[in-house]
Amino acid sequence: MLPGGTSEVKVIYRTILIGMTDKSFQPTLAGLRAFVAVAEKRHFGSAATTLAVSQSTLSQALAALEAGLGTRLIERSTRRVRLTREGVELLPLAQAAVAAADAFSAAATGTSDPLQGSLRLGLIPTVAPYVLPSVLAGLAVHLPALTLRVIEDQTERLLAALRDGGLDAALIALPADTAGITEIGIYDEDFLLAVPPGHPLSGKRRVPAATLADLPLLLLDEGHCLRDQALDVCQKAGVRAELADTRAASLATAVQCVTGGLGVTLIPQTAAPVEAARSQLGLAQFANPRPGRRIGLVFRSSSGRDESYRRLAAIIGESVAGEQRVSLVK
């Protein structure tokens, strides 16, 4: 007998078992659901409640999945639950499998409309804080049966999550230019020039875009589509912008830097009421043709839910237009 008795033998046996992979193993849907729930909730009790099962049933399903795969997916401790490296890699696939199974069941019973259940909607950071209040209010009125889960992130990560099945749809600046992704234009909005309080351009209505050549342009960090859009405005105006030394991780921070005199920046029209209300920000309009961007809904072309998502896009557009002076895409 080894020191420590049979309990140590069990630990060694379990370690060997987890290290082995059964090539013929087929994950059960119960196991995948258990993994996804624990990974998303980071708590066994909350995950069990979500799935309407006992914690012991949940733990057994997850343990069976890990044993069959021959790898740990979840690190357990008395204080916290975290994903292993393998768990992080496999989670998007598990989420996609669970979503596919749910869609299959819904389609089989004739209730495959995603607007009657749970929907995971991604939004870029320069859209989410400014349109969510009106969008959520509009969806509550027009789609009372919809349960919305909101995920805010940069465009590339939203598109990656969309491709991997971690999202159902996303509200981003178009074009996405991504294979397998369908785009629905919703509204167009102008860019406004944000300047420090008392700046000579504050309140002007016909500022040439070429003026940016003479101003310290403050940009968002790499990865934000608004950064690329601002540089594109300069390129189309035929000017090379003088970039400010300061960079911001969010539009709200950029606005505060502008208010403090650290430069100027471009802000979307939908952001102007919120940002101007909480600062002494000066705003100017560009001369025609005014630079701007198109915001739209994107989703997997293979989802087969074009009609539902076009209805969703229409509701979002009407909600935003009701609060903002934007032009709906015809």
Which of 10-19, 203-212, 216-225, 318-327 bottoms out in mean pLDDT, i.e. has the lowest? 10-19
CATH 3.40.190.290 maps onto the chain at: 113-330
CA angle 299, 125, 212 (to 5 degrees): 115
In 3-state terms, what secondary structure has residue 242?
Answer: strand
CB 269, CB 187: distance < 8 Å: no
Mean pLDDT of 178-184: 92
Cα torsion 310, 316, 321, 327: sign: negative
> Cβ neighbours of residue 262 under 8 Å, at least 6 residues apart?
216, 218, 244, 246
* 25 against 16, higher pLDDT: 25
Residue 316: which of 174, 139, 198 has the closest Cα?
139
Report the C-alpha gap between 44 and 34 in whole angstroms.
Answer: 9
Q: Residue 1: its pLDDT value, please?
A: 41
Model confidence at 108, pLDDT cuts 50, 70, 90, reads low
Average pLDDT value over all residues in the chain: 86
Mean pLDDT of 37-50: 88
Which amino acid is it at 194? Answer: A
The residue behind tokens 């890699």 is: 89
Domain 6-108 falls under CATH 1.10.10.10: yes
Residue 113 in this model has a pLDDT that exceeds 90? no
pTM: 0.66
Residue 237 in this model has a pLDDT that exceeds 80? no
For the domain spanning 113-330, the CATH number is 3.40.190.290
CATH 1.10.10.10 maps onto the chain at: 6-108
Q: Residue 23: its pLDDT value, please?
A: 67
